[in-house]
Amino acid sequence: MAPVEDWGRDTVSVRGGLARSGFEETAEALYLTSGYVYETAEDAEAAFKGDVDRFVYSRYGNPTVAVFEERLRLLEGAQACYATASGMGAVFTALAALVGAGDRLVASRALFGSCFVIVDEILPRWGVETVLVDGADLSQWEAALSSPTAAVFFETPSNPMQEIVDIEAVSALAHAAGAKVVVDNVFGTPVMSRPLEYGADIVVYSATKHIDGQGRVMGGAILGPEDYIHGPVENLIRHTGPTLSAFNAWVLVKGLETLRLRVEQQARSAYAVAQALQDHPAIRRVWYPFLDSHPQYDLAKRQMLGGGTVVTFELDGGKDEAFALMNALAIVDISNNLGDSKSLITHPATTTHRRLAEADRLKVGITEGVLRVSVGLEDADDLVADLTQALKAATGR
């Protein structure tokens, strides 16, 4: 039989990391335990010294969590993976494992609200110099990375404005400056985007989104080199505690089994929704990476396998029209989440990106009229019809 590294991605999604107990169950076992016992005091001492490889405490590691980490590692093609309690736990830990007082971080300014708080408020308070650039402008990356740098961080596509960063070009610039590249791949998903293949060093996920994909649990993951994951990342997680629960890990393991099927269907529907919206007279603009109207369409087609599950658009009438549209929807739910099997709509300026100053929001294009639709698994025609009737109710057009 071929080694697991040679399996196809669908096989890995279903069987990667599988470790059956003595009961030989078909589904992955759920180990709801905080601790573990030892035959002798000497065994406990050996475990804590690291002389034997075994589970000692579920803040450090858990068999169910280990299955999730190994399956996602294989799917991503990374050397190692460490799971966290949330996506933000993954982002913060990934960056904190790379930078300290006196270090320099270069990041795209087009970030999810909480990510922006980390790089713009929290890390600078601890003595980290943060430089923000427009992610689509390679000349700004070149200028920012002309000085020694510890870490580079960006989303691609960005949340919510779908800005695409050239992973290969920025990674080359970053490595020349001595930096490790951290990519938030939530919009890209493990299905549509493979940052490690384009030179990125580290990938982070909010597994709450597509990996669960059904609005049930929270989780996150950091993937990267063995010495980084089982060095500073492991040290931070063990001793600060953003640990993924065994139950959540079990749900996420099952989510990985259907990830590709769900995301590919959602992406097909998202493309149909984007096409329908871009011709509507009440809509100023639509952003979707695989629409040829996207300013970085060619780059998106080059480094992505699909356009993703999110459609962003801007109404002429600002916040009033945006709220009226949201309140008129019959199928699409109002929520700040994304990547769910149910379609969800968000007004970023007043929710997910509310913490950003208005000037910072406008720099990345988040006006009061911008709405983000996370396309789910409903019939695409039903979604288009619901959005169309809501547009009519909100704008009269």
Residue 128: strand, helix, or coil: coil
Kindly report whether the peptide bond that precedes residue 63 is cis, defined as omega within 30 degrees of 0: no
| Residue of 294, 350, 360 whose CA lies nearest to 322 | 350
Separation between Cα atoms, residue 318 and residue 81, nearest integer Å? 42
Strand partners, 82: 222
HSE on the CB side for 173, CA within 13 Å? 21
Query: 10 Å Cβ neighbour count for 158?
Result: 25
DSSP H/E element including 57: none
Q: 219 and 86 in contact (C-beta within 8 Å)?
A: yes
Query: Residue 12's closest CA among 62, 64, 67?
Result: 67
CA distance 305 to 290: 10
Peptide bond into 124 cis (omega under 30): no
Please give the angle made by the CA atoms of 231, 237 and 238, to the nearest 5 degrees: 85
Burial of 226 from C-beta contacts in 10 A (0-12 / 13-18 / 19+): exposed
Q: Which of 288, 14, 333 is nearest to 158 (CA)?
A: 288
Q: Say how many residues make up the chain.
A: 397
CA distance 90 to 92: 6
The one-digit pLDDT tens for each residue of the chain (397 residues) are 678 878 999 999 999 999 999 999 999 999 999 999 999 999 999 999 999 999 999 999 999 999 999 999 999 999 999 999 999 999 999 999 999 999 999 999 999 999 999 999 999 999 999 999 999 999 999 999 999 999 999 999 999 999 999 999 999 999 999 999 999 999 999 999 999 999 999 999 999 999 999 999 999 999 999 999 999 999 999 999 999 999 999 999 999 999 999 999 999 999 999 999 998 999 999 999 999 999 999 999 999 999 999 999 999 999 999 999 999 999 999 999 999 999 999 999 999 998 888 999 999 999 999 999 999 999 999 999 999 999 999 999 9
95: closest CA among 137, 62, 130, 61? Answer: 130
184: β partners: 155, 204
Residue 396, token pair as written in the block? 């009269």
Alpha-helical (H) ranges within 198-280 are 226-228, 234-240, 246-257, 259-278
Closest CA to 91 of 220, 234, 188: 220
Beta strands in 156-307 (DSSP E): 180-184, 202-206, 220-224, 283-287
- Rounded to whole angstroms, how far apart are CA atoms 151 and 174? 8
Q: What are phi and psi of 370, to 5 degrees?
A: -80, 135
Half-sphere exposure of 105 (CA within 13 A, CB side): 28
Question: Could you report the per-residue pLDDT of 96-146, keeping only the tens digit for each?
Answer: 999 999 999 999 999 999 999 999 999 999 999 999 999 999 999 999 999
Phi first, then psi: what are they for 151, rounded to 5°?
-150, 150
Q: What is the DSSP letter of 40?
A: S
Residues pairing with 314 in the sheet:
285, 370
What is the b/e burial string over 34-57, where b = at least 16 CB atoms within 10 angstroms of the residue's CB? eebeeeeeeeeeebeeeeeeebee
First-to-last CA distance in the chain? 60
pLDDT in tens, 52-91: 999 999 999 999 999 999 999 999 999 999 999 999 999 9
